[in-house]
Chain A
Amino acid sequence: MTDTKDVIAAIVGIEPGSELAAVVAGRADIMALTQQTHDAALTPAEPGGLTHAERAALACRIAKINDAGDFEVHFEALLDSSGATGDTARIADIWFDGGSDVRLKALIRHVDLVAHAPKDATRRDIELLREAGLDDADIVRLSELVAFVSYQIRVAAGLRLMRGLA
């Protein structure tokens, strides 16, 4: 488990007492639910067929694809604390495609596609996950992970631009 209380606030650098902090406080419910979803997607109590280490490593890839260095650092720390080794840790390497591991290869291919170009996804992409051994529940877990991290990175990107306003 990570003990970070609000990943977005830490990454954007929302100073307590600042004008931005006051604006964000107006949507404190959303920010709290965002953090709770982060924990549910990255470190769920029942991870199903996707380990915490795999989730952190895949999130790392998503951060890299989004050019979001601060999130990359965050998810790398999460990956380190999961004690991942070998091919699982290598998932975070954007040049690693899963090698000879059919399941890993399918996970990586799908995450990269949906993070970068969801518009190009088709029924065939879900079939490929199934052919690699994922069941429907794991397909949904994987989809929520990519979808949520893509959301979280955009909220932070927007808030950082807001912080720059006079």
Chain B
Amino acid sequence: MSKVVHEFTTAIPEWKPYVKPLDLAEASPAQLEALKITPSNTKVSDYVLVLAHDVETLTHRSPLFNGVMYNKGGLSRAEREIGAVGASIVNRCIYCAAVHASRYNQLTKDETVIAAIFADGVDAEISPRLKAILDFSVKLSKCPSDADVSDMQALVDAGLGKDEILDLILSSSLFGWANRLMHTLGEPLAE
């Protein structure tokens, strides 16, 4: 029996949509075109098939998502994942948090940071640089945003360059978008 996952975890659950994913046999040429440029070329996920119902946004969303998380230069890939995790904690998107927390662990080969964040949130005892990144992401993700000049200054003081700060703004904001789809259109299941 599968159960809905309610607690943060690095074990990636299955995502079960509340709406019917697009049936590829009924897809329009525009939908097929948009699906070609998703991160995975081998198997199209239910999530992407759900988003294919709105093909005009999906067409831009897939390259935008990949650019924000994987573009060369700027903030390290691992630190972009912390931006994603901060947003996912605020919005309680268990699925996004699991995917991006585990990606952080893979990239850094260190599980202690995510374990501390899942246990203590913004009070986690992590390096000053990671703490500034997590704090900013969490505050920007509130509604309305709670990030202010002191949070921005904290990023500078922690040693982030302006190109890195821009990438953090983008990855944190991107998950304000992704969480509002993933968490509201389906649920995370585990065995």
Contacts and interface: CB of A to CB of B under 8 A. Distances in A.
Contacts of B60: 33, 36-37, 40
A140 to B, nearest CB: 4
B166 to A, nearest CB: 6
22 contacts: A30-B67, A30-B71, A37-B61, A40-B56, A40-B60, A44-B57, A65-B143, A114-B184, A118-B180, A126-B18, A136-B19, A136-B53, A140-B19, A143-B184, A144-B51, A147-B180, A151-B173, A153-B145, A154-B173, A157-B140, A161-B149, A161-B151
A73 B186 CA distance: 33
Contacts of B51: 140, 144
Interface in B48-64: 50-51, 53-54, 56-57, 59-61, 63-64
A51 interface: no
B10 interface: no
Given A48-B54, A118-B91, 10 more contacts: A26-B166, A27-B167, A37-B57, A44-B57, A66-B145, A119-B91, A143-B185, A150-B177, A154-B140, A154-B145
A119 B183 contact: yes
Contact of A23 (B141, B144, B166, B176): B166
Given A30-B71, A147-B178, A161-B147, A140 B50 contact: yes
Interface of B: 18-20, 50-51, 53-54, 56-57, 59-61, 63-64, 67-68, 71, 73-74, 90-93, 140-141, 143-145, 147-149, 151-153, 156, 162-163, 165-170, 172-174, 176-181, 183-185, 187
A30 B177 contact: no
